[in-house]
A and B are shown apart, each in its own frame.
Chain A
Amino acid sequence: MHRSRSFGRAPLLTVGVGLALALSLGVVLLAGFRLATELNGSVVALQTASSLQTYPADISREIDTLRERLEVRTYAGRALDDLRGTTTRLDDGLADLARASAADPVALRAARDSWARFHRELDPVLAFSGQPYRDSDTAGSVLSTAGRAHFMHVRRAQLYAARHAQALREELGKVVDGLRSSASTAALRLRGLLLGGVLAALMLALLAVHLQIAKGREERSAREAQERTRDILRTVREGFFLLDSGHRIGPVWSDALRRMFGREDFAGLSFQDLLQDLVPPATLATALKYVNLLWGDRAHENLMKSINPLAQLEITTESERGGKETRYLQFDFHRVMGPKGVQHVLCAVGDITSSVLLARELQDSQSHASAQLDLLIGLTRTDPLQLGSFLDTADAGLRLVNAIMKEPARGDGEFRRKIDGLMRELHSLKGEAAALELTSVAERLHALEGLVEACASKAELSGADFLPVVLKLDELLAHLQGVKEIAGRLMLTREPQPLGESGSIGAALESLAAQLSREHGKPIRLELAGLAQVPAAYARTVKDCLIQLLRNAAVHGIEPTDQRAARGKNGTGLISAKFAATPNGYELVFEDDGAGIAADTLKRAAVRRQLISEEEAAAMDTRAAMALMFRPGLSTADGVSMDAGRGVGMDVVARGLQSIGGRIGVATHPGRFTRFRITLPAADRATGAVA
């Protein structure tokens, strides 16, 4: 930006200097021409005036001569002609001066007035014509009558000339002086003007030179800056490039990109092509949308970093030693603002492999330490009998998980078939672990569930995708081993706690309800009835089912307190589970007085999860929409938390019930309640209650 501005300024200045030069030259020439014309007029007038200066004396002399001639009665015509000529010349000269207007008008007028008076005295003399003499016998040649008058006129003119010629000469002298001084003034001004013009041209020339030097210096510093930029781009460890609005990479990029991406053709490459083979299509689509947000004007750059889909990109590249290596790249995007808004998006790519690995190790050791503590705290709170029962269940459950893993699989389909079973098993174990507040176990199950879920979103599944799952499973088994050891020691030192009123199912539900109430800030009252009558054969299924229903009710069903108040409901949410024998078997009614389930919400969620199409959703009646909740992969919670939102849950409940011949139905009223009615066939009552 600095560059473009200074380069924009230079031509403007050059043009300005040129204009100034032309303008001042024009002024000098024009003024010089006028001054020179003026000076020329003054000089010509001065010459005229100077020559006029001698005329009064000439005229005096010529009158003298005329008188002498007349006195001695010699030929006077010639003298009179001389006088006439001089007079005419003086007339003409003064007229010229008046025309030229170079002379000082006051002095000129004085001279002309004086001369006019002089001229009047001369007029009778000049007007004379004819012979002044007449020959007389007595005295020879004598003046004729006209001659006498002429002589008299001459004598009078002589007398006037003697008195006034000097004055006229002086007045003409004044005109000459005026002309001389005005000529010298004009000459002086002309000289000044020329000097000024030369000075101005000189200064402008200096300015031009200075600008040229400055421009050179700017160009040099721009060049140096460019070189420095090149140096930086060559040595910096981060990959830098600019994206234009068409998502294309600009011509300037740092060399580190070469190493990171193993290619050279960055300039003009589209961002999509750069990432095409490195990033899963869904992530790439999100990344492009993310970058697009930066071109818009709503998104805050700093407030969207946490959702950057390329904040930690795992890529596999050929290592320098020939093998494959996994590296982690971090893409960071910044707006580059120009005068008209976003000009570019600067993308910085860092290789964060070592920090990712370090963080992972740290987390491993930290979570190990905190897990030990959590475990101890969890275990001291847990009823040893329940714990023992859970450990057995977990053992069996994880054996099942491993058995599912062990099923031979080669193609994508065979691998994909494992996912549902794994999810169901893990989810139900997680529910129990959370109910017992075995956080460390529940967290591991949650993580394992996440890994399995990640497999589901992969395009073409292979055994390699399940390696993290089996590693986590190993870790979980090791952890449970630890739990068993600690629990074994604890059981030696603790008395078993008496079972709650409604048996272990009730205790588990009470504990879970308390926990959910705490975590979600919703006061909850749990009403249980008849759970002690659950036949042993159904105990596990009913317990799993109730844990799931309770979870859903607490997380999705019961509204936040203020909403309840707004709806005129009691601030404490009521959840009830009532188990009773019926003539044909058993009935379990589970109810919450929460927000109910809206058919539209289920449809929208199903469409978003691509379980059904928009058209199917539109055609679906309420009953069919309600049935959606029992489909695998549907959850109305967008977030993934320990308690809900994994997309399994109700399908676990439904399948579990199916496996023991039960059925489930749902009734709901938006804003008022949700009620599940579960019927179970008669079982061997002889096995008695509980587990």
Chain B
Amino acid sequence: MIRAQRTPSPADAGRRVYRLLIVDDSNIVRRRIERSQHFEDLQVVGTAGNGLDALEVFAATDPDVVTMDLTMPRMDGIECIGRMVELKPSVRILVISALADKATAVEAMERGANGFLNKPFSDRQLNEAIAELMRGA
């Protein structure tokens, strides 16, 4: 079903390269996500440390996949997710957060996030989650 929503891009003709944006206010986590993704068809196009910056980078880089922290200064992840989905309904967003409060996690999903990964996470969990995200529902 998600697949049907995928907007075709010129790259579809050959091998599709997914563009990844990493949003997290922690340097360590950002670097970890950058390091741990081993997908040939995934390319990090930008990183941001808060919601407002993330929207700027989002507009500039047009990513297909976003990893999103919820706890961030300036604009939190929930609001940021809503804006991104408005801007580009086909974007796929993986929330990566240490959030213990499931109501907020579900709210993030309601705003349009496609999946949720708990911090702390292993490289394997992260890779699996991103693979799942790219595969479609």
Interface residues of A (CB under 8 A from B): 282-283, 285-286, 289-290, 292-293, 297-304, 306-309, 335, 341, 520-522, 556, 559-563, 566, 595, 598, 601, 604, 636-641, 645, 670
**Complex-state Cα separation, A637 to B48, whole angstroms:** 17
Whether the pair B106, A560 counts as a contact (CB closer than 8 A) is no
CB-CB under 8 A from A638, the residues of chain B are 70-71, 76-77, 97, 99, 101, 104
**Complex-state Cα separation, A520 to B2, whole angstroms:** 35
Q: Which of B2, B53, B71, B100 has the most CB of A within 10 A?
A: B71
**Complex-state Cα separation, A285 to B110, whole angstroms:** 13
CB-CB under 8 A from B31, the residues of chain A are 521
**Complex-state Cα separation, A561 to B102, whole angstroms:** 30
B26 in contact (CB, < 8 A): yes
Q: A309-B106, A560-B27, A560-B49 are in contact. Are A300 and B133 (CB under 8 A)?
A: yes
B1-18 residues with Cβ-Cβ distance < 8 A to A are 1-2, 5
In the complex, residue of chain A having the shortest beta-carbon distance to the beta carbon of B128? A302
**Complex-state Cα separation, A559 to B53, whole angstroms:** 12
**Complex-state Cα separation, A522 to B28, whole angstroms:** 8
B112 in contact (CB, < 8 A): yes
Q: A297-B1, A520-B26 are in contact. Are A307 and B70 (CB under 8 A)?
A: no
Whether the pair A307, B116 counts as a contact (CB closer than 8 A) is yes
Whether the pair A282, B103 counts as a contact (CB closer than 8 A) is yes
Q: What is the number of contacts between chain A and chain B, taking CB atoms within 8 Å?
A: 125
Whether the pair B109, A521 counts as a contact (CB closer than 8 A) is no
Whether the pair B132, A299 counts as a contact (CB closer than 8 A) is no
Q: What is the CB-to-nearest-CB distance from B22 to chain A, in angstroms, rounded to a whole number?
A: 11
**Complex-state Cα separation, A303 to B125, whole angstroms:** 10
Q: What is the CB-to-nearest-CB distance from B137 to chain A, in angstroms, rounded to a whole number?
A: 5
- In the complex, which of the residues A290, A335, A604, A637 contacts B106, with contact meaning CB atoms closer than 8 Å? A290
In the complex, residue of chain A having the shortest beta-carbon distance to the beta carbon of B119? A639
In the complex, residue of chain A having the shortest beta-carbon distance to the beta carbon of B53? A563
In the complex, residue of chain B having the shortest beta-carbon distance to the beta carbon of A594? B73
CB-CB under 8 A from A290, the residues of chain B are 102, 106, 109
B30 in contact (CB, < 8 A): yes
Whether the pair B47, A595 counts as a contact (CB closer than 8 A) is no
Besides A601-B73, A637-B71, 13 new A-B residue pairs in contact (Cβ under 8 A), listed by A number: A290-B106, A292-B110, A298-B114, A300-B137, A303-B133, A309-B103, A341-B1, A562-B47, A562-B49, A598-B74, A638-B77, A640-B101, A670-B74
In the complex, residue of chain B having the shortest beta-carbon distance to the beta carbon of A285? B103
**Complex-state Cα separation, A645 to B129, whole angstroms:** 27
Q: Which of A308, A601, A639 has the most CB of B within 10 A?
A: A639
Whether the pair B73, A521 counts as a contact (CB closer than 8 A) is no
B87 in contact (CB, < 8 A): no
- In the complex, which of the residues B5, B30, B74, B109 contacts A307, with contact meaning CB atoms closer than 8 Å? B109
List 14 interface pairs A-B (beta carbons < 8 Å), by A numbering. A290-B102, A299-B114, A303-B114, A303-B116, A309-B102, A335-B137, A562-B30, A562-B49, A595-B74, A604-B76, A638-B70, A639-B71, A640-B100, A641-B98
Q: What is the CB-to-nearest-CB distance from A471 to chain B, in angstroms, rounded to a whole number?
A: 21
CB-CB under 8 A from B109, the residues of chain A are 290, 293, 298-299, 304, 307
**Complex-state Cα separation, A300 to B116, whole angstroms:** 9
B25 in contact (CB, < 8 A): yes
CB-CB under 8 A from B30, the residues of chain A are 560, 562
B87-137 residues with Cβ-Cβ distance < 8 A to A are 94, 97-107, 109-110, 112-118, 129, 132-133, 137
